[in-house]
Amino acid sequence: MRKILIVGAGQSGLQLALGLQSHGYDVTLMSNRTPDEIRSGRVMSTQCMFRTALRHERDLGLNFWEGQAPRIRGLGVSVGAPDHSRAVDWLGELDGYAQSVDQRLKMAGWLETFAQRGGQLVIHGAAVGDLDFFAGRYDLVLVAAGKGELVSLFERDGARSPYDAPQRALAVAYVHGLEPRPEHPETEAVRCNLIPGVGELFVMPTLTTSGRADILFFEGVPGGPLDAFQDVRDPREHLARTLELMERYVPWEHARATGAELTDEGGTLAGRYAPVVRRPVGRLPSGGAVLGVADVVVANDPITGQGSNSASKCAASYLADILDRGGEPFDEEWMTGTFERWWGTAQHVTKWTNAMLAPPPDHVLRLLGAGGRAQEIADRFANGFDDPADFEEWFYEPEKADAYLERVTA
């Protein structure tokens, strides 16, 4: 039986650990927190998982909350005008529903499942020295902890990383009491509110520790008016500032948030990080090699909501490659090839995300504007969140965009 060590208990690490466990591998999983500590801690993300990522969970029988989480069937886009009205406002229909489950629920539950199924769970914040000690005792070591000292093992890939500084300041609040959007009160949807030159507000339904809720997620251009949370320490002050900014910049969303209250004391999060692609193989002081997983090696800004989706797709891709390897050694050549096979999918996420961080060119503004007149465009943009590779055909180049617009409007 092949022995595998996975360091990190997020979406990718846990999904991969449970998948390998189901195929009979001897898996050790290292987490820096217990399930109870995760469940009672601060929110970790703004996850919304689309059809393909949800299918990967379903294939492994890990969709424990599918019957409870809101079924998100639409994705809407609004673009603010200078007078704070909406210059653009439309709703695209998803081909398959999306869902958001608070990672405090999911990761705690998956950790408990892994242990109940006989997996070796080690509660320890691993450092480089720990991996150096353990590496020779396992056939493969995977690093799925996207923060902390271990990330330093993986060299930045400058050719695939156009940014060297954060492009957005992030601020998240989980709330109860948000009213339905009056334009589509019966349809659960993610709403993307774009404020040119200022940033974005995303609103999405979720399942949290206290039931159904909504996530209010600001992405502010650094140094701009939405970059306003660095001095906030109190969760209630965080929500008050969120609502103030909503009232000023997205009054159509604020109108349904006047009764919003935090879900819990841990329901806020703020920070920033630079998007980066790193080389997939980390070299330990003793010379051993470890393989980076998901956002350890491809960390995109959350503006396109791809974090948990990419993590799920990475775990599924790595699982298939590990199973295909059989009894052959997991050498550095195999590690690099395994990453590159996943990069074939991940590169589209990175390209799209980086494009959305930049000021939109004229042809993108034309496409977004046309979404309100042509449902096909609205639907295609919405479903690009599940398959970003489709944007290659119509979104990036003015010639392709204009040809697509001409065909649809004809």
142: CB partners within 8 A, 6+ apart? 4, 5, 6, 7, 13, 16, 290, 291, 292, 293, 318
The domain 3-62+101-163+275-357: what is its CATH number?
3.50.50.60
pLDDT at res. 135: 85
C-alpha span between 155 and 211 (Å, rounded): 41
C-alpha span between 43 and 265 (Å, rounded): 10
The residue-averaged pLDDT of 99-121 equals 98
For residue range 198-243, list pLDDT tens digits in order: 999 999 999 999 999 999 999 999 999 999 999 999 999 999 999 9
The residue-averaged pLDDT of 323-343 equals 97
pLDDT at res. 178: 97
Residue of 277, 274, 295 lying closest to 159 (CA atoms): 277
For residue range 287-329, list pLDDT tens digits in order: 999 999 999 999 999 999 999 999 999 999 999 999 999 999 9
Query: 156 with 274: CB under 8 angstroms?
Result: no
Assign 3-class secondary structure to the chain. CCEEEEECCCHHHHHHHHHHHHCCCEEEEEECCCHHHHHCCCCCCCCCECHHHHHHHHHCCCCCCCCCCCCEEEEEEEEECCCCCEEEEEEEEEEEEEECECHHHHHHHHHHHHHHCCCEEEECCCCHHHHHHHHHHCCEEEECCCCCHHHHHCCECHHHCCCCCCCCEEEEEEEECCCCCCCCCCCCEEEEEEECCCEEEEEEEEEECCEEEEEEEEEECCCCCCCCCCCCCCHHHHHHHHHHHHHHHCHHHHCCCCCCEECCCCCEEEECCCCEEECCEEECCCCCEEEECHHHCEECCHHHCCHHHHHHHHHHHHHHHHHHHCCCCCCHHHHHHHHHHHHHHHHHHHHHHHHHHCCCCHHHHHHHHHCCCCHHHHHHHHHCCCCHHHHHHCCCCHHHHHHHHHHHHC
pLDDT at res. 266: 97
Burial 239-267 (b: 16+ CB within 10 A, else e): bebbbebbeebbebbbebbeebebbbebb
- For the chain, domain boundaries: 3-62+101-163+275-357, 72-99+168-271, 362-409
Q: What is the rounded average pLDDT for all residues in the chain?
A: 96
Residue of 24, 36, 29 lying closest to 9 (CA atoms): 29
Q: What angle do CA 124, 299, 101 make, to 5 degrees?
A: 70
For residue range 352-391, list pLDDT tens digits in order: 999 999 999 999 999 999 999 999 999 999 999 999 999 9
pLDDT at res. 88: 96
Q: For strand 26-31 and strand 140-143, is the pairing parallel, antiparallel, or unpaired?
A: unpaired
For residue range 129-170, list pLDDT tens digits in order: 989 888 889 999 999 997 888 999 999 999 999 999 999 999
For residue range 22-76, list pLDDT tens digits in order: 999 999 999 999 999 999 999 999 999 999 999 999 999 999 999 999 999 999 9
Q: What angle do CA 139, 142, 147 make, to 5 degrees?
A: 155
pLDDT at res. 147: 81
pLDDT at res. 148: 82
Domain 72-99+168-271, architecture per CATH: 2-Layer Sandwich (3.30)
pLDDT at res. 77: 97
pLDDT at res. 409: 86
C-alpha span between 270 and 39 (Å, rounded): 19
The residue-averaged pLDDT of 105-123 equals 97
Q: Is the pTM of this model over 0.95?
A: yes
pLDDT at res. 345: 96
C-alpha span between 216 and 147 (Å, rounded): 23
Residue 31 C-beta-side C-alpha neighbours within 13 Å: 25
pLDDT at res. 136: 87
pLDDT at res. 402: 96
Q: Do domains 3-62+101-163+275-357 and 72-99+168-271 have the same CATH topology?
A: no
9: CB partners within 8 A, 6+ apart? 17, 29, 30, 31, 32, 33, 38, 107, 110, 111, 144
